Amino acid sequence: MAPSVRDLVDKYRLGFVDDPLPGHEQYQGMLAIPYLRWAPRIGWSVATMRFRCLLANCDHGGHRGGKYASMPEHPPRIYNTLALLDDTDDIGVTEGEFDAITASVSGIPTIGIPGADAWRKHFREPLLGYRHVYVFTDGDRAGNAFGELLIKELPNALIVPMPTGEDVSSLVLKHGKHALLERTRT
């Protein structure tokens, strides 16, 4: 059975910024996406947060000009590192947090990179031990560039392109998770 939205909110601890603390007004009305970490003895912690605007017809001018906002001074980090703790031969990589959630829920543990230009050299290391790293690229120019970059970085990368104009979430929403899983079996 597919997990409910409630289950996903619980698992990934997604939140909504209703009443921001002083100094965080720019995140008002945005979805809050915590970068959860788990470690023995320490337990759960949050490495950083990203925020996504939920307003329809928003020009995003009121919150630093983007649909997504990061914490000031925070470098890009890997989203959903819990996928790295699963004992699997293969792993997925997406651009963006939601596509990582969608692919993980569809059955392929998947980490997210916060944007096609957010790749960092040290993200390579934890991916080298896998048989395949499925790189789910958006069906646009930035997606193609992201795929080309990861092919150079990772000897075990397999590009899994989404159809033109689609990303993992829109594909699964329209055609179901099997549409995504089939693309990894070529």
For the bound state, the minimum distance from the C-beta of residue 52 to Zn ion, rounded and expressed in Å, comes to 9
The residue type found at 54 is L
Q: In what order do the strands lie in the sheet with 43-53?
A: 15-16, 30-39, 43-53, 68-70
Identity of the residue, 64 or 175, whose beta carbon is nearer to Zn ion in the bound complex: 64
Nearer to Zn ion (CB atom), residue 2 or residue 55: 55
CB of 30 to Zn ion, least distance (A): 8
Q: Using CA atoms, how far apart are residues 144 and 137, in angstroms rounded to an integer?
A: 7
Helix (H) / strand (E) element for 49: namely: strand 43-53
Handedness of CA 46, 125, 177, 138 (dihedral sign): positive
Which residues of this protein are in contact with Zn ion, per CB under 5 A? 53, 55, 58, 60
For residue 36, the cross-strand partners are 46
Give the residue with the Cβ less far from Zn ion, 63 or 134. 63
Q: Among residues 40 and 65, whose Cβ is nearest to Zn ion?
A: 65
Considering the complex, state which of residue 13 and residue 60 has its C-beta at the smaller distance from Zn ion. 60
Task: State in angstroms the smallest separation of the CB of 56 from Zn ion.
Answer: 9
Residue 182 in tokens = 């089939």
Q: How far is the CB of 20 from Zn ion (least distance, A)?
A: 14
Minimum CB distance to Zn ion, residue 60 (Å)? 4
Bridge partners (DSSP) listed for residue 30: 53
In order of 23, 35, 81, 98, 136, the CA distances from 31 in angstroms are 17, 13, 20, 11, 23
In whole angstroms, how close is the CB of 19 to Zn ion at the nearest point? 18
Q: Among residues 60 and 124, whose Cβ is nearest to Zn ion?
A: 60
Asked if 148 and 130 count as a contact pair (C-beta separation under 8 A), the reply is no
User: Strands 30-39, 15-16: parallel, antiparallel or unpaired by DSSP?
Assistant: antiparallel
